[in-house]
């Protein structure tokens, strides 16, 4: 495996630390956003303080958004409806299909699209495979799916190497 595919283009503390004006200046016209532990706490429909304003700012910057989640459509819809943003559920990230679907929804190409997520082996690997700008954020909470917690142990090894 090419380990460069696990290397995020950027690392930020949270989605709120991602500079939308800077992405706009770079030519980013669409952002694919993971939901759980990237935008909200795991299985929570509540947007944290500042998240709604950040999402609105993206629109003012001319950046389209699409949520892409490995979760069920019901879970993704809970958040997407509150935010008024389209979504792709049961995405099976890092498979390319869901990333292509999100770009189709936003009307963007890989070179105009960024991916923001909290996991190397889903969000970052998938976005890098598509040639997109990838942004890794620190998970919002330590509360998450058991399988994800196990993958965090493996991610920690790769993050130290990167």
**pLDDT for res 86:** 98
List, as own/partner pairs, every contact residues 131-135 make where C-beta atoms lie below 8 angstroms and the sequence separation is at least 24, other chains included. Answer: 132/32, 132/99, 133/9, 133/10, 133/23, 133/26, 133/28, 134/8, 134/9, 134/10, 135/8, 135/9, 135/10, 135/11, 135/12, 135/18
**pLDDT for res 143:** 59
Q: What is the CATH number of the domain that holds 70?
A: 3.40.50.1000
Higher pLDDT, 144 or 118: 118
* Span 112-131, average pLDDT: 95
Read off the pTM: 0.88
* Tally of domains within the chain: 1
> CB neighbours of 153 closer than 8 A, spacing ≥ 6?
none
Could you list the residue range(s) of the whole structural domain that residue 32 is in? 3-161
* Span 95-122, average pLDDT: 96
Asked if residue 1 has pLDDT above 60, the reply is: no
Q: How far apart are CA 19 and CA 126, in angstroms?
A: 22
* Span 2-8, average pLDDT: 83
**pLDDT for res 60:** 94
13-54: per-residue pLDDT in tens?
999 999 999 999 999 999 999 998 899 887 788 888 899 999
Q: How far apart are CA 102 and CA 30, in angstroms?
A: 9
Asked if residue 146 has pLDDT above 60, the reply is: no
Higher pLDDT, 161 or 21: 21
44-94: per-residue pLDDT in tens?
888 888 999 999 999 999 999 999 999 999 999 999 998 999 999 999 999
Q: pLDDT band at residue 107, thresholds of 50, 70 and 90?
A: very high
């Amino acid at each position: 495996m090419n380990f460069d595919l696990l290397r995020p283009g950027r690392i930020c503390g949270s989605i709120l630390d991602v500079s939308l004006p800077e992405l706009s200046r770079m030519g980013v016209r669409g952002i694919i956003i993971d939901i759980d532990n990237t935008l909200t706490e795991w299985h929570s429909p509540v947007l944290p303080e500042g998240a709604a304003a950040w999402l609105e700012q993206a629109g003012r910057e001319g950046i389209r958004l699409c949520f892409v989640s490995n979760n069920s459509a019901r879970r993704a819809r809970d958040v997407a409806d509150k935010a008024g943003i389209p979504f792709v559920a049961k995405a099976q990230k890092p498979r390319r299909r869901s990333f292509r679907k999100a770009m189709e929804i936003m009307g963007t190409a890989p070179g105009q699209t960024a991916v923001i997520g909290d996991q190397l082996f889903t969000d970052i690997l998938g976005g890098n495979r598509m040639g997109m700008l990838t942004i890794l954020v620190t998970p919002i909470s330590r509360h998450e799916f058991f399988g994800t917690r196990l993958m965090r142990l493996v991610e920690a090894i790769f993050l130290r190497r990167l």
